[in-house]
Structure 1
Amino acid sequence: MKPTSSYSLYNIVTALAVTMFFSCKNNFKEVQQIGVLQNEPIGIAENMNLKYTDSGRLKANLISPKMLDFSNREFSYNEFPEGVTLNLYDERSKKSVIVADYAIVYNNTDLIDLRGNVLITTETKDSIFAEQLFYDEKRDWVFSNKPVKYVSPTKIVTGNAFDSNRDFTSYGISEVTSTVYLDEDTSQ
């Protein structure tokens, strides 16, 4: 007895279907791992010392023990989980220093979000204390909508918002909560 061609085709299709069925495996955990990998940084840098120049002049110097690069995200950013020191230089190369416990640089907006024990020290020995400050690289502007304390040799001012140019020669404190004037010479 000769097998018919439709009978042979049926056997071949059945064999392929059974083979495919048994070769499939549950890869849900692998699919979950793909999502985890997308949430991981694309790169990690340690002991960073990044210098930003414009027309041959040093404008900023960012120093951090660790940077996580999330440029693989749709809204890319760099994270500094172990803190950052940002040195800003004016046209006369005078330096102001910003130190924070944590920072994020948003690449698409050129905005630096500084958080946790933020301290700014200016060339004139003025200090600004805040829990969060933003530095807008495009506009060369520093601002916060959180409580701040400004300390100069002559006064201490606290308020609920702050904005300033990059060299801190023009600043404003909004919603001032207190002002204390200091004696310039307490030794007499």
Structure 2
Amino acid sequence: MVAVFSVTMFFSCKDNFKEVQKIGITQNEPISEARGINLKYTDSGEVKAHLVSPKMYDYSNRDFPFNEFPDGIKLTIFDDKGNENYIFSDYAVYYGRTKLIDLQGNVQLITNMNDTLLTDQIYYDEIRQWVFTNYPVTIISKGNVSEGNILDSDRNFKELQLMEGRADVYVNDNN
């Protein structure tokens, strides 16, 4: 009788190793937390982007994994000539599968030409090396202010398009 019971128990067990691994980790909590983040994205041996943040939460335990930067980031994007363009935000999310960074809250982009872009949310696509948003944008360039609701640009900011824009306003720097 003991042998029959043991054989029945043995064959009724499933391979629940993955379920056992998830014990204590809920879907809504990060699997890990890191501090002092310093990541570099390279392509063919060339650094394309550099991300720095005080804190990161890793949600790789999700069906669509992501990393959250609740205390904001500083993202440096290098153009084809190695010039640095900076993006700052109060909050960011990085989606590893799609290589997309969602930057939110007081987003400020400063190009190597000292042009400044201000918005509430912007995206950076690492694969296409493209910056875009559908949020209101203000661009300050050489004393002129341009505003629009849609922005599309390459990482060099040479193919920048500002759509649904309003007329440029000249800012007098002599005051």
The TM tier, using the shorter chain, reads 0.7 to 0.9
Distance 2:164 2:40 in 1: 35
Distance 1:66 1:186 in 2: 41
Aligned to 1:69: 58
SS across alignment from 2:105:
strand
Aligned to 2:148: 159
Distance 2:104 2:28 in 1: 22
Asked if the contact 2:80–2:156 (Cα under 8 Å) also holds between the matched residues in 1, the reply is no
Distance 1:92 1:40 in 2: 41
**Percent identity between the two aligned chains:** 47
Q: CA deviation at 1:38?
A: 2.4
Aligned to 2:116: 127
For normalisation by structure 1, the TM-score amounts to 0.77
Aligned to 1:110: 99
Q: CA deviation at 1:48?
A: 0.4
Distance 2:44 2:139 in 1: 32
Q: CA deviation at 1:134?
A: 0.6
For normalisation by structure 2, the TM-score amounts to 0.82
Q: Note the residue ranges of structure 2 that are not aligned, 5 or more in a row.
A: 1-22
Distance 2:120 2:34 in 1: 25
Asked if the contact 1:160–1:177 (Cα under 8 Å) also holds between the matched residues in 2, the reply is no
Match of 1:145 among 113, 134, 159: 134
SS across alignment from 1:39:
coil
Aligned to 1:58: 47
Distance 1:124 1:76 in 2: 36
The within-5 A match list for 1:1-188 is: 37-182=26-171, 186=174
CA RMSD of aligned residues (A): 1.9
Number of residue equivalences = 154
Structure 1 residue ranges (4+ consecutive) displaced by more than 3 angstroms after TM superposition: none
Distance 1:106 1:56 in 2: 22
Q: Note the residue ranges of structure 1 that are not aligned, 5 or more in a row.
A: 1-33
SS across alignment from 1:91:
coil
Q: CA deviation at 1:94?
A: 0.3
AA at the equivalent of 1:68 = Y
